Every structure is written in C-alpha cells, then in structure tokens.
Amino acid sequence: MARLIVMGGGVSGHTAATFAKKWLGSNHEVVVVTPNANWNWIPSNIWVGVGQMKKEDVIFPLAPVYKKAGIDYRQAKAVSIHPEGKEGSDKQFITIEYTGQGKEGQTEELEYDYLINATGPKLNFDATPGLGNGEGQLGPNTVSVCTADHAVHANSELRKVFEKAKTEKQKIVVGTGHGMCTCQGAAFEYIFNIEHEARKAGVRDNLDIRWISNESFLGDFGIGGLHIKRGGYAASSKLFAESLYVERGINWTIGAHVSKVEEGKLAYEQLDGTEGEMEFDFAMLIPPFAGVGLKAYDKAGEDITGDLFNPAGFLKVDANYAAGAYENWKASDWPRTYQNPSYSNMFACGIAFAPPHLISKPMSSPNGTPINPTPPRTGMPSGIIGKAVAHSVCDLITKGEGAKLHEASMAEMGAACVASAGKGFTDGTAAALTVYPVVPDFEKYPGIGRDLDYTFGEIGLAGHWIKHILHHLFLYKAKLKPGWTLIPE
C-alpha cells in the first residue's frame, strides 16, 4: 500500500486529493494535511464582502467530506519536508503541527511515498507597512476579501461607510496593496460590486470610488492583458476595462506600489517615479502572496529549503528558471508535469508551484522598486493542474516508476473566468471571459500571443447567471455529491 500526502486542501489540493482517492480506491492511502476546518469557494467571497452572501454560503466543513471519501484528514499545517528521511531511516516524511481535531499544537511525523504540495499562498500582509498587523495577519487600517472571515469583516466596515454616505462624502479605495501582488481579478470584482451596491443603497453620489493597482495598464490582470474579437476588431482588454471604469465613474491609479498604509491614508510610488498619497474611509487592498514558509531538510538534517523552493517560498518544478530577460521568455519555460527536479515523488500544484517568471512584462520605478503583477495560478488552471498531478501520481503508484506523467502546461491550457460586476438576478452583470492559452505563446500566436477563436469576453446579465450557477456547481463538486466527477475543473 502506497501513501500519498497532499499538503493543502484548497481548490488545487482538494481536486488532487479527491481524484487520487477515487482512482486509487482502498488499495492505497490518501492523506490531506490542511490547517483549515472548512473548504472555501473563494471566488464568491466578494459577494460576502458586500453582504449579498453569508459566510455559510461559501464554506463547508471538510471532515465529513473526507470521511465519506475515505481520505485521512489531518487538520494541521505542514511544517517541514524530509525527502531523504532521517538518520537511521530512508523513509521520506513531513512534519505537521495540528491546528484542530483536539490536538492543537501537537506535532507529528507523517511518512509518505508520494507528496503533493498544494499549500496555496501565505497572505503576506506584512510586506507593506501598515497593511498587516506585524504578526502576519490583516492590519487594522484596511479590509480584505481573501478569506470568508475577512469578507464578513469587510462587509461590516462597508456598511458603516454606506451609512455615513447618507449624509457626507466618503472615499473608497480598492486594489492591490503592494507592487508585487497578483489576484487583481478579485479586487476588480469587489470594486464593481461595491459600486453596484452603492447605487442600490442610494448613496453612490456621495462616494468617491478609486482603483489602485500594480498593473501597468488596466486589464493586464497579471496575464499581460488579452485581446478580444469585437465589432470586427481584435481589441485590447485595456479598452474594455477602461470603458467599464469610466462607465461606472471609477477613477484609477495604475502602475502603483503601495508603500505604506496608515489609518485613513496610503502612500504609493508609481512606475514613472511619481510618489503620492491617497486618503480613504474604506480600503480593500489585496496583499502579495508568498509561499507558506515550509522548510526542507536532507538526511543529515541540513537545511535544503533553498534548493527545493524559490526565494518566495514556492516549490520548484519542471520549469525553466533560467529564462533570463523578458525578451528570452518562451511558452515552453512553463512547467508541464509539476514534478520536482530533485525528488521525483514530489509534485506541486496551484499557487504552491514556482512559476518560471512573470507573465506580465517586468517593470520597475526609477528607484528600482519592482511594480508588476505576479502570475495568477488560481481558478480553473489550478484545478486542472491538481487533477493532472493526481493522475500522474496514481499512474506512478499503479503502473510503476516508468509511467508517463500527465501534462498541464499553462501555456497550453485556457481558462474561463467570470468576473462579477454586481449581483442581482435581473440587474446583475459580470464579465465572462475565456483566454487561450493562459500564458501567451508569441511563437504560435505572433503579436497577441493568444488564439482569438478561443479568447472571448463580454459583460452582461448572462455572465452573472453563469457565475451564480458556477458557485453552486463547484460547491456541489467539492462536496463530492453524486456525479461530481462530471463537472469539469
């Protein structure tokens, strides 16, 4: 009997673990190590953040689902990887520290035959002074929608601002809280949902709503933007994004690194060297992501974290990390199997894998401050990668070490994305987008890097219906209800 340990129970880890268990059956063991008691459908957190959904609508407890699936669930955080075992034993293991199940604080060694790192991101609030509380958590000056609890808090603060806006002007800022953030999409959805709710509440005229982000142009979204066929033209996402901001009366500041946050005020530096300050009564700023801080040790107990992980803490896989300057980047730099080059029984998926480089062009201010979106590895790609990695591990277990690994390169896969711009069965809207491939391939698709036949986008009520249906569909799938495997990632 082989044992597969999946570290992380988010979209990618949950997908990997549940498919692995389905394919391996009871002949082999699947263990999930995640510090969370609940699974969270993160894309709907923005609706919790504007009071259109409750926390309970976007989460469910993991324990009963894993019990039903026959998965060994450990509510614990992974602390270290020992891919060569330790003195006196060649058996690979990880160390974990429990966060629940009545064993809080206890540590344990878990041996493995195969390991999937799907630990997701550490929300690195402290990377920006004042954004965090100095202890790695969200600080008191802004709100966040990165977790369901954050979103509940965000809505409670937003309602206070709406109440004040009945009698006086209020300033709202939404965007990215650092020059190296990803996940602009979540902030994009949140700002338009706030605007939508403000109109419904009759307070829109008293709100100054402003966007701030590290994108060099609106519509970059960390994937270098995209082109969409519309009206006989292939038009840049910049046009469509700017159009929406103008239509909704939202001003924007882009190419910005938020360098400091204080109560009611933030400071920023822009790509052209401009420095400025922005006052606010309410701010939702996405933090930059980092690896969760896993350590790695060799058989002798020497620290090999730097060999296994990149400086940001993401696990190295079969990517080309020596691509160098932007001009040298190729689609083939992106990993295909997500297998660690040093240890063939170790894989990564979702945000946990180290990308070879950015997708957007690297940029910095005259002071040398890097200001560019980092590559997104969330949503549909993270699910597809999780499933491919699980497939590879299952084949290695059942067919032997010579089994061919499954591939899921982000330069050869598309993504469907639905970005809400306001919730409502008859008055809601969302931008429905597809992009193929996620990572532009300028050799195959010169100029725009994408296949225009499969890259598409439009805003409307239909997009909102789709986002709402996907909310229920993916929660249904994650709960492993009948037919869950038929729902694609």
- Contacts with another protein by CB under 8 A lie at 239, 242-243, 245-249, 251-252, 380, 384, 413-416, 426-427, 429, 432, 434, 436, 454, 456, 458-463, 465-466, 488-489
Backbone dihedral angles phi then psi of residue 295, each to the nearest 5 degrees: -105, 160
Cβ closest to another protein, residue 110 vs residue 390: 390
Cβ closest to another protein, residue 63 vs residue 462: 462
| Shortest reach from residue 61's CB to another protein, in Å | 29
| Shortest reach from residue 465's CB to another protein, in Å | 6
Greatest pairwise CA separation for the chain in angstroms: 72
Helix ranges (H only) for 184-320 are 184-201, 237-247, 305-308
Q: How far is CA 411 from CA 6, 71, 316, 357, 387, in A?
A: 25, 32, 17, 13, 17
Q: What gap in Å lies between CA 467 and CA 376, rounded to an integer?
A: 19
| Shortest reach from residue 259's CB to another protein, in Å | 23
Cβ closest to another protein, residue 167 vs residue 426: 426
| Shortest reach from residue 249's CB to another protein, in Å | 4
Q: What is the CA radius of gyration of the chain?
A: 22
Backbone dihedral angles phi then psi of residue 363, each to the nearest 5 degrees: -140, 155
| Shortest reach from residue 473's CB to another protein, in Å | 12
| Shortest reach from residue 88's CB to another protein, in Å | 44
DSSP three-state, residue 252: strand
Cβ closest to another protein, residue 63 vs residue 246: 246
Closest CA to 487 of 387, 353, 377, 389: 387
| Shortest reach from residue 432's CB to another protein, in Å | 5
Cβ closest to another protein, residue 95 vs residue 253: 253
Cβ closest to another protein, residue 339 vs residue 429: 429
Cβ closest to another protein, residue 262 vs residue 458: 458
| Shortest reach from residue 389's CB to another protein, in Å | 14
Distance from the Cα of residue 469 to its chain's centroid: 21
Buried b (16+ CB within 10 A) or exposed e, 45-65: bbbbbbbbbebebbbeebeeb
Cβ closest to another protein, residue 27 vs residue 426: 426
Closest CA to 294 of 7, 100, 98, 3: 7
**Which burial class, exposed, middle or buried, applies to 191 when counting CB atoms under 10 A from its CB (0-12, 13-18, 19+)?**
buried
**Which burial class, exposed, middle or buried, applies to 454 when counting CB atoms under 10 A from its CB (0-12, 13-18, 19+)?**
exposed
